Amino acid sequence: KAGVTQTPRYLIKTRGQQVTLSCSPISGHRSVSWYQQTPGQGLQFLFEYFSETQRNKGNFPGRFSGRQFSNSRSEMNVSTLELGDSALYLCASAPEGFRDEQYFGPGTRLTVT
């Protein structure tokens, strides 16, 4: 079974721009979560989608948003990029979500200049 895939793998953007990242979960998985990983803050939860609805949300500003499609694929959008948004963005999928094991993709490394 194929794992979680994320595109693109690397991205360079300029401050003020916006970016969209994509995640395809493991086949059959309906829950998709997004995390931000930085050297200073570690791994932090952004939000979780299940059946096209946001089910949980972390403590990030409204510039960070996401959505999930009917095939469970998910996208994450960051508007008005700031230098501090430079990070590895990780997507994780789980069968149903609650108390399930989460499997991570390889991540998208975003650099904001």
Partner 1 sequence: QKEVEQDPGPLSVPEGAIVSLNCTYSNSAFQYFMWYRQYSRKGPELLMYTYSSGNKEDGRFTAQVDKSSKYISLFIRDSQPSDSATYLCAMTGWGNKLVFGAGTILRVKS
- For every residue of the chain, DSSP letters joined together read ----EEE-SEEEE-TT--EEEEEEPPTT--EEEEEEEETTTEEEEEEEEETTEEEEE-S--TTEEEEE-TTS-EEEEE-S--GGG-EEEEEEEESSSTT---EE---EEEEE-
Residue closer to partner 1 by CB (options 28, 42) is 42
Q: Looking only at residues 50 through 109 of this chain, which bind partner 1 when binding is defined by CB under 8 A? A: 50, 55-56, 58, 90, 92, 94, 97-107, 109
One character per residue 4-43, x = contact with partner 1 (rule: CB under 8 A): x--------------------------x-x-x------xx
Distance CA 64, CA 76 (A): 7
Site residue total, partner 1 (CB under 8 A)? 28
Residue closer to partner 1 by CB (options 35, 64) is 35
Interface pick for partner 1 out of 25, 26, 36, 48 (rule CB under 8 A): 48
Residues in touch with partner 1 (CB under 8 A): 4, 31, 33, 35, 42-45, 48, 50, 55-56, 58, 90, 92, 94, 97-107, 109
